[in-house]
Structure 1
Amino acid sequence: MKKITTYRHKKVLVLGLARSGVKAAELLHELGAFVTINDKKAFAENPAAQDLLEEGIKVITGSHPIELLDEGFELVVKNPGIPYENQMVQKALELNIPVITEVELAYQISEAQIVGITGTNGKTTTTTLINEMLNAGDKTAHLAGNIGFPAAGVAMEAKKDDVITMELSSFQLMGIQTFRPHIAVIVNIYEAHLDYHGSRQGYVAAKLRIFENQQADDYLVVNWNQPELRELITQAKSRIVPFSTKEVVEAGAYVLDGNLMFKDEIVGQQQDIILPGEHNLENVLAAICVAKLEGQSNETIMHVLSTFYGVEHRTQFIKTLNNRRFYNDSKATNIISTESALKGFKEPVVLLAGGLDRGTEFDELKPFFKNVRAVVLFGETKHKIARVATEAGVEHIKIVTDVEEAVPVAYEYSEPGDVILLSPACASWDQVPSFEVRGDLFIKAVQELV
């Protein structure tokens, strides 16, 4: 890592811990800053704060005392999940104290090149595919960011010739200053996180920050299927590399007569891709763009595409049982994600869905139920989705208690050749703490089928 002196002897407040906050505090401490951490969780129940205290870092836990900002901090490093409406963040901004997120620190000290990936859906799959393609060739690549590996920690370890493949949320991108990925990827942009950003405009603006510091020798890989994105990137200084499943884009990646193309070169055959669905085809094309820009061979790229079964909880293939294929798409916490999953299968589908009620109706799903043999529903939204399924003419509709009960019921409704798909179209918080837990419960129930 670069031994920068920017923070030596400067007072820095790390607001909120979790994994990214811990790494930010450790990095700043190593760089010679006078670090104070402030986390809402009580000290006795906060092992991360206890460990940092032992390292000689000042720790304040149990609340966010606004008077703490009277101590003359020169920087606040904010946990991405803490909203800007938080009184500590608001006060810091009023005092003209810069507020950044940990990815900005990672960029400042990274010796490795950064590939940054953002978007509403498909970020994690695309990030993982890119990382696999780079590592399968002649690169050493490291996953980082919103994918679960704190960027600062990865940047501290990555070498000069390595690549950091960094998934970036809108929350993280709101807190950058100089962050400049050599290759930026925008997988897509839909509507999300309006409770955090206040409006779709605010959400989109945060996403677009991924390329605001790029220069003419950088690259911006962008989804050409979305006319909105074509308009939004007109101010980019970087070189545009498009990808599209719908048209030939001569400067990027596309599909032509069953061939996966990059510019005028055949990379491989579409039929060799393991991942199902058009949405995953977009992810694949985005990853091909980055891999080719990084000099990876077609053989390396196709090896990954022919062996990559998906990321956990994202249209993840689980097993085949009696000629029924099971897929875990628990990460589908919104309607668009479930639409994409349903579009990805030509076979009849038995759909498991339902979850937290955010006041949404599900009529947008109706056209995508044409190929659905049965729906098995649970959670707060079960009756809402049942109404839509009824109106769509779905033959079998069953209400159950939870995802564990749904699995054997779905199997009973299925026939040989069917896909049994968990794609809830809702968050999980009405019943379980995360989509990962929900997905794990689904997988466990599938494995128990005989």
Structure 2
Amino acid sequence: MNRIVRNFIDQHILSGKQAVVVGVGKSGLAAARLLDVLGANVRVVDRNEDVTEDTLGELKGKVELVTGPHKKRHFSDADIIVFSPGVPVKKLAPVLEGIAPHTMVSELEFASWFIEAPMLAVTGSNGKTTTTTLISDILEQAGRTVFTGGNIGVPLCEYLLDMEPAEIIVLEVSSFQLQNCRLFKPHVGVFLNFAANHLDYHEDMNEYLEAKLTLFNRMTGEDIALMHESMRDIMKDRSFTNAHVQWFDATDRFDAPHLPGEHNRSNVEAAWQAVKQFGVTKEQAAKTILNFKPLAHRIEPVGEKRGVLYVNDSKATTLEAALAAVRSFDRPVRILMGGVWKGGDVVAFAKGIKGSVVHVGLFGGAREELEPELSKSFTVTWDETLEKAIKRQTAKADAGDVILLSPATASFDQYNGMAQRGADFKRVVGGLDD
């Protein structure tokens, strides 16, 4: 337990206060645990009526659980309200009417109040997890103690309670987490890229961008904001930070044999620009980058059968990410796409993959958004399931082709998440004849 948490306990700052945590995901439960340790009276609310007391784990019997539709009375007595990532706060406006805005925070914001170590935060529409993990690996190989979490792995609240203090806090942060932040302030903030994403959650692209830019709001002239060159035009009329702004783009500065494509060269450059702020040398970074391998479900080679390469890119939930994956190969691509539509420019995507994609295999949802435009330029087929789509493409593929799962959608039409979708891809490929 860190010094600031102990200070809150000793001074009874939240003791006896009413706290409400919205959402019983791992971030919400981590926030509830921290609030309980701080002495608050904790109420956890979730719309899902199937949630039971057992979901609370060690908090069972210690906190109040309310399920079903949210009511004003669930929030009216709250001294602090902590939102799990992805909770649509604007849709809760009717039940939050009259509640002071400063009492409503995200789990990320709440946890950051107790952090003393410098924070390095990475956001963007695509490539966050790869870049965040690479940054952490470089820092660790350079001898620094690092906590890696946020939108990946361990919630920041959980770190405060269960883990040894780290020298540097490295966080992947999403627009969901940032939208309810006001005081969150990293020492280094990285904005990798900006493209249509989460438009099923945000009202429009401007709201999505504003949520991302919250990352930089509290930074000062002693901090570093790293922005991708592609964003210069949309940022030129915005006053978004007091930090020192530096721009980056793809370079050939490092040899990264396991990170193909221009988008990964950009991610590598972003990682280098970030870690050098903490005293890492180019030689130290180069050694880690040389050996760094792609994460599961992100342009992950699964196997090659009869000269056909199968690649799992289930983490590509946007058209921009799928385009980057296609451009990673100099072989004909048969792309598998489909799931829950999140928005994006299909016309631009179709233009971007011309000359690389030889067949589009759709499966599951989003057929109505993808097929009309893609069928103008490509042979497009549709199958009900991913397994049927893989087998169809396998039957048609020639030696030298790539069968690429890069769905450009969320997975929740048929799977519990992108990892389960990727695992299903691996299962099916593993069962194919050699």
Distance 1:18 1:109 in 2: 21
Q: Does 1:375 align with 2:360?
A: yes
Aligned to 2:420: 437
Pair 1:37–1:232, CA change in 2 (3 A): farther
Aligned to 1:10: 17
Aligned to 1:96: 100
Pair 1:236–1:273, CA change in 2 (3 A): farther
Is the 8 Å Cα contact of residues 187 and 223 (structure 2) preserved in structure 1? yes
Is the 8 Å Cα contact of residues 197 and 343 (structure 2) preserved in structure 1? no
Q: Does 1:207 align with 2:212?
A: yes
Distance 1:31 1:390 in 2: 57
Q: How does 1:14-163 map to 2 (within 5 A)?
A: 14-42=21-49, 45-49=52-56, 51-54=58-61, 56-70=62-76, 72-87=77-92, 90-96=94-100, 98-163=103-168
Letter aligned with residue 302 of structure 1:
A
Distance 2:95 2:206 in 1: 24
Is the 8 Å Cα contact of residues 43 and 66 (structure 2) preserved in structure 1? yes
Aligned to 1:423: 406
115-124 vs 416-425, which deviates more? 416-425
Is the 8 Å Cα contact of residues 223 and 242 (structure 1) preserved in structure 2? yes
How far did 1:358 drift? 6.6
Long gaps (5+) in structure 1: 246-254, 261-267
Which one of 206, 222, 226 corresponds to residue 227 of structure 2?
222
Is the 8 Å Cα contact of residues 228 and 247 (structure 2) preserved in structure 1? yes
1:85 is paired with a residue whose SS is helix
161-170 vs 319-328, which deviates more? 319-328
How far did 1:446 drift? 1.4
How far did 1:388 drift? 4.2
Q: How does 1:289-438 map to 2 (within 5 A)?
A: 289-356=273-340, 362-367=346-351, 368-382=353-367, 385-392=370-377, 394=378, 397-438=380-421
Report % sequence identity.
29
Letter aligned with residue 386 of structure 2:
V
Letter aligned with residue 98 of structure 2:
E
Pair 1:90–1:389, CA change in 2 (3 A): closer
115-124 vs 30-39, which deviates more? 30-39
Pair 1:378–1:184, CA change in 2 (3 A): same
How far did 1:314 drift? 2.1
How far did 1:115 drift? 0.9
Is the 8 Å Cα contact of residues 107 and 155 (structure 1) preserved in structure 2? no
How far did 1:32 drift? 2.1
Distance 1:425 1:43 in 2: 30
Is the 8 Å Cα contact of residues 301 and 310 (structure 2) preserved in structure 1? yes
Is the 8 Å Cα contact of residues 112 and 158 (structure 1) preserved in structure 2? no
Distance 1:44 1:223 in 2: 41
Letter aligned with residue 408 of structure 2:
A
Distance 2:372 2:176 in 1: 35
How far did 1:320 drift? 3.1
* Residues 249-300 of structure 1: CA deviation (Å, up to 9, x unaligned): xxxxxx2xxx41xxxxxxx33xx43112212221111111112222223343
Aligned to 2:180: 175
How far did 1:441 drift? 0.8
1:312 is paired with a residue whose SS is coil
How far did 1:387 drift? 4.9
Long gaps (5+) in structure 2: none
208-217 vs 143-152, which deviates more? 143-152
Distance 2:368 2:396 in 1: 19
Letter aligned with residue 22 of structure 1:
L
Is the 8 Å Cα contact of residues 27 and 155 (structure 2) preserved in structure 1? yes
- Equivalent pairs counted in the alignment come to 424
Is the 8 Å Cα contact of residues 183 and 219 (structure 1) preserved in structure 2? yes
Distance 2:367 2:99 in 1: 48
Pair 1:375–1:68, CA change in 2 (3 A): closer
Pair 1:310–1:114, CA change in 2 (3 A): same
How far did 1:213 drift? 0.8
Is the 8 Å Cα contact of residues 224 and 230 (structure 1) preserved in structure 2? no
Higher relative contact order (CA 8 A, sep 6+): 2
* Residues 143-199 of structure 1: CA deviation (Å, up to 9, x unaligned): 211114211112334555422211111111111122111111111122332343322
Distance 2:29 2:270 in 1: 32
Is the 8 Å Cα contact of residues 309 and 316 (structure 1) preserved in structure 2? no
Distance 2:143 2:35 in 1: 32
* Residues 344-373 of structure 1: CA deviation (Å, up to 9, x unaligned): 222211211223357878333322131223
2:33 is paired with a residue whose SS is helix
Distance 1:59 1:219 in 2: 41
CA-based RMSD: 2.5
Distance 1:332 1:29 in 2: 37
1:226 is paired with a residue whose SS is helix
